[in-house]
Structure formats: structure tokens, C-alpha cells
Amino acid sequence: MQLNNARILLTGATGGLGQALALALAEQGAALLLAGRDPARLADCVVGLGGNVQSLCADLTHPEAIETTAAAAREFGVNVLINNAGINAFGLYESQNWSAIQQVIMTNLLAPMQLTHALLPWLKAQEKAAIVNIGSTFGSLPFPGFTAYSSAKAGLRGFSQALRRELADSAVEVVHVAPRTIATALNSDAVNALNRDLGNHADTPQAVARQIVQALHTGRGERHFGFPERLFAWLNGCAPGLIDQGLKAKLAIVKRHAAQR
């Protein structure tokens, strides 16, 4: 996909990865419609980028906001939708309240599915279009302490793959990218401490944004970032029992940090 004449709706544009991605896409000459929940942070993002950038405020867990966002995207003339907005909730599943679990599923899975559904007829009518879903390593390597988040991201991966296969005879590409840990505010202090104890590497949002731009350029449907995370995600698909054993050995560490959140 050529990005210099792309018109892109980017959700979660006020976040760590969203801001880096907005900058990387603007540098490629793309026109941007930035979506987020906080008007002040959105305004700062627009000013920082200059050029052909507009914004809209929407909480995507509200069905009416999906409609407003889709209408604004059609008016803007989008041909690329990037479902980037997301939240995390670290903790043992049984200790989390149901509304927090629901919020994770709604934000990371149902909102991207619903926004895609609302925009699909429009995207199919474009000469060239793309849907980019920002997943996570945890979507292929579900992790203790991140049960709701892993479930949502695994769902997003399945959604992306099924939709890509359904749209194989259309001009709409479906790209699913799965970053490992990124140094952003998504991760609480407890998650950062856990990652340090587990020796997990955190990428910068700028490095991940560059890889996403490259994925858009090449149109390769599946991209998993980072080694050895990519290897473990693959191994989980072939021999999940091995990953069960490996993660059982780390469970005490996960539980210790989950108790401190």
C-alpha cells in the first residue's frame, strides 16, 4: 500500500504507540483522522503533527460512538483503518471484577470488530484499502495474569485471519501485527516490574511504529515482532504443553507481582 495518498483512521492516537504511529504515518505523507477519548491530548497530537490531520473524540466501547466515528471516517474519505486503541488489566482472573474483564474484551476485541463492520462496505468501495489490527504476542502466547487481555488479543488474531480470508477476492488487505512489550503507559508499574523479573525486553513505540508502517507497505498479513517471543508464540501453536510447563515455572513470579498491583 502506498502511504503518501492514504487516508487513515487511527484509533488510540493519543497513546504511546498511537502517537509514534501518527508521526511515522504523517512522515510518509498520509492524511490522518486521529481518534482518542481525551480532547486536550488529541489537540496536542494534532498540533504536533501539522499537515493534513483531523481528530475526533470517541469512547469506542459505546455503540453510538462507533457510528459517529464511522460517519466521520467516511466523510474524511478513509481507505485505511488502524484499530490500535487498547487497554490492559493485569491480575489473576478470579480476583478481577467482571466489569474490568468486560471492558478489556469490549475495548480490545468488540470495538475493533464493530468499527470494522461499520466501515467495511465503505472500504470495499475504495480502489485500495486496508484494515490493520494491533494485536499482541499474548494473542498467540496467552499468559498467566493477562487472561482477559490474552483472550481479547487471541480473538482479534482470529478475527483478522478469518476476515482476511473472507476478503481475499477484494481490494481490502487485512493486516494483523503482534508486538511484544512496548514501553508505554499501557503497562502499570506492576507489569513493568514483572517484565524486569522475567527478563522481558520492551521495544520503543517508535521502533514498533516503523515495523507497522513497513507491514502496511508490504501488505503481509501477519507480523509478529520480537525474538524469542515470535518463536514461543509459534511453539505454543505446535506444542502448547511445552509452553504450559515453561510458564508453570514462572507462575510464582506472576502471582507475586499480581498481588502487588
Ligand X SMILES: NC(=O)c1ccc[n+]([C@@H]2O[C@H](COP(=O)([O-])OP(=O)(O)OC[C@H]3O[C@@H](n4cnc5c(N)ncnc54)[C@H](OP(=O)(O)O)[C@@H]3O)[C@@H](O)[C@H]2O)c1
Which residues bind to ligand X, rule: CB under 6 A?
Answer: 11-18, 36-38, 41, 59-61, 84-87, 107, 134, 136, 179, 181-182, 184-187
Cβ closest to ligand X, residue 123 vs residue 225: 225
Cβ closest to ligand X, residue 18 vs residue 91: 18
Cβ closest to ligand X, residue 161 vs residue 195: 195
Q: Pick the closest to residue 205 from 187, 193, 217, 191 (CA basis).
A: 187
Amino acid 210 reads R
Least Cβ distance, residue 187 to ligand X (angstroms)? 5
In whole angstroms, what is the distance from residue 104 CA to residue 177 CA? 18
Strand order in the sheet with 53-57: 53-57, 31-36, 7-10, 80-83, 129-134, 172-178, 222-224
List Cβ neighbours of 187 (8 Å cut-off, separation of 6 or more): 88, 181, 195, 202
Say if residue 181 is exposed, middle or buried (CB neighbours under 10 Å; 0-12, 13-18, 19+).
buried
Cβ closest to ligand X, residue 171 vs residue 222: 222
Cβ closest to ligand X, residue 31 vs residue 152: 152
Least Cβ distance, residue 205 to ligand X (angstroms)? 6
Least Cβ distance, residue 161 to ligand X (angstroms)? 17
**Torsion angle, CA of 225/130/37/114, rounded to 10 degrees?**
-110
> Which residue is closest to ligand X by CB?
15
How open is the CA angle 129-131-134, to the nearest 5 degrees? Answer: 155
Residue 93 designated active-site: no
In whole angstroms, what is the distance from residue 106 CA to residue 135 CA? 14
Least Cβ distance, residue 156 to ligand X (angstroms)? 8
Least Cβ distance, residue 87 to ligand X (angstroms)? 5
Which one from 90, 149, 225, 232 is the annotated catalytic residue?
Answer: 149
- The residues annotated with a catalytic role in the active site are 149
